[in-house]
Structure 1
């Protein structure tokens, strides 16, 4: 039977430390276990590996050769580990990213172009979804989400606050007290936007309901009605005007999230660092403050 790697490690530990007890302590085994294993190896090889003296264990020529072989093997293992670690530090491979459609078009897409320019070995699969995909099942590797309460099983970064305000067409009436509204339906964000609109207009004044926030901006621009929009988008469109200040009850938080098992993966870490750096100068616009620039 060939001698296995663990027995090489045992022989080297005994040679380096001069005895069974310190070698066993180093390997995390009992001295009696170390004694039995050494006896079994010597029997298998048909050669004594150590001379037993009162001062300790002294390797024989066969023991020295086996300890030297163990040292070479350990060095090869260490070299392999370094090579794998170096490769792992280079972002590469498939990265699956999910975000809502509005975040993709308004924020994420310009960032993806610049990310790819830096990391040519990373291929991106972008999953546009209004629903929160299950990162634990690896439906995606990274999620860009606007939420007040990110899932507790994910880790990530808080990128900033997303302010919302009421917008109308730039050429609309000066007094919009009796204007029609466009609104996301009750199915969106737990009914947050629908409740906001309902508190300001009766159901007969809601001209259009949408089952997502996608299309809100276009509907307002076309004069269908006034309605809520994220400030980073509404403020940069010449055909719109802001009718209110940021509405605290609509404010959300932008998160970049991943599963704990993926947070140290090079491609995930590189992407999260990149997006965080890109979002930083956009915060004034996201928060509805004058002077913010867009993506």
Structure 2
């Protein structure tokens, strides 16, 4: 064949078969009947076979014509399916999405949000990596990071969703009457990257009163709940535990930014984009809680 067949050639053959004639097929396609006649002749000459048998009752496709009609029908179905996908009827982001965050942020904030995200986007498979040390998104250790930081890497893009407020907490059953200086304390170890918390405790507690040091915020909350000592906690963590009470207002020196980050090369990926938008919207609803303006009042 001198020239390859085009999509319009298949459309013409199908229209002739459906309408059983050149004139009605041309009208359906919005072309001149003479143009339809000429194009059909060119196709048959190029293929070296008839596509239609001409009868008094109309045009009947030959076996070659029937095959072109079947192909055209499949092509129409594919085009229609693609249009539906673009309209959002069938298209949903899909594939694996690797998310990293700290264990405390996952437990206190992200877990229920991911549950709702999975309900909305069931074709996205979320792989969560819990780490209190930043993963390298540039090396694709993760696609998205939810991090508490005041200085996100320049290599990443994203937005600051809120400011995480911290305050001093103790067990509610112990009350607030005993001065902090006379209590036992629990602290994060400075080598965990929580230097703010370690400095805060060191400035207020005699070293002999620091009963325990831990390397995770989750462990810090559990230690305060168990009555080991008082400790600074993120309001997001402390306010959601009924057995704990604030012993101080939010401490500005302990606050940290809450950032949702990805690599610049990934921000236009469908599954990354919908995750960023979804999580950003959900966290915006909880901003007063995260920033310590309202106490936690039940499951969210």
Matched, 1:227 2:254: no
Taking the TM superposition and a 5 Å limit, the aligned residue runs for 1:25-40 are: none
Asked if structure 2 preserves the Cα contact closer than 8 Å seen for 1:284 and 1:292, the reply is no
**How much has 1:281 moved relative to structure 2?**
1.4
Paired residues of 1:141 and 1:262 also in contact (CA < 8 A): yes
- 2:97 corresponds to which residue? 95
Partner in structure 2 of residue 7 of structure 1: none
**What is the CA-CA distance between 1:134 and the residue it aligns to?**
0.3
Distance 2:182 2:210 in 1: 11
Question: Residues 1-295 of structure 1 correspond to what in structure 2 (within 5 A)?
Answer: 86=86, 90-173=92-175, 174-176=177-179, 177-189=181-193, 191-290=195-294, 295=300
Shift of 1:90: 3.2
State the alpha-carbon separation in 2 of the partners of residues 159 and 243 from structure 1: 26
Tell me, what secondary structure is at the counterpart of 2:158?
strand
SS at match of 1:207: strand
- How far, CA to CA, are the matches of 2:121 and 2:249 in structure 1? 40
**Separation of aligned partners in 1, 2:295 and 2:227:** 27
> What is the root-mean-square deviation in Å for CA atoms of aligned residues?
2.9
1:282·1:292 contact (CA, 8 Å) conserved in 2?
no
Q: 1:162-212: CA deviations, max 9, x gaps?
A: 000000010115123310100001112352211110000111110000022
Against the structure 1 CA distance between its residues 284 and 292, is the aligned structure 2 distance closer, same or farther, given a 3 Å change threshold? farther
Q: Residue by residue, what CA displacement relative to the aligned partner does 1:89-117 show, whole Å, maximum 9, x if unpaired?
A: 73110000000000111111101110011
Residue equivalent to 2:64: none
Alpha-carbon distance in structure 2 between the residues aligned to 1:240 and 1:190: 21
**What count of residue pairs does the alignment treat as equivalent?**
225
Alignment partners' CA distance in 1, 2:271 and 2:133: 24
What is the distance in 2 between the residues matched to 1:136 and 1:152? 11
TM-score by length of 2: 0.68
Structure 2 unmatched ranges of 5 or more? 4-41, 43-74
TM-score normalised according to structure 1 size: 0.70
Taking the aligned partners of 1:112 and 1:249, their CA distance within structure 2 comes to: 30
Question: Could you list the per-position Cα deviations for residues 46-80 of structure 1 after superposition, in whole angstroms to 9, with x for gaps in the alignment?
Answer: xxxxxxxxxxxxxxxxxxx9xxxxxxxxxx9xx99
SS in structure 2 at match of 1:215: helix
Structure 2 CA distance, aligned partners of 1:158 and 1:217? 25
Q: Distance in 2 between matches of 1:254 and 1:141?
A: 17
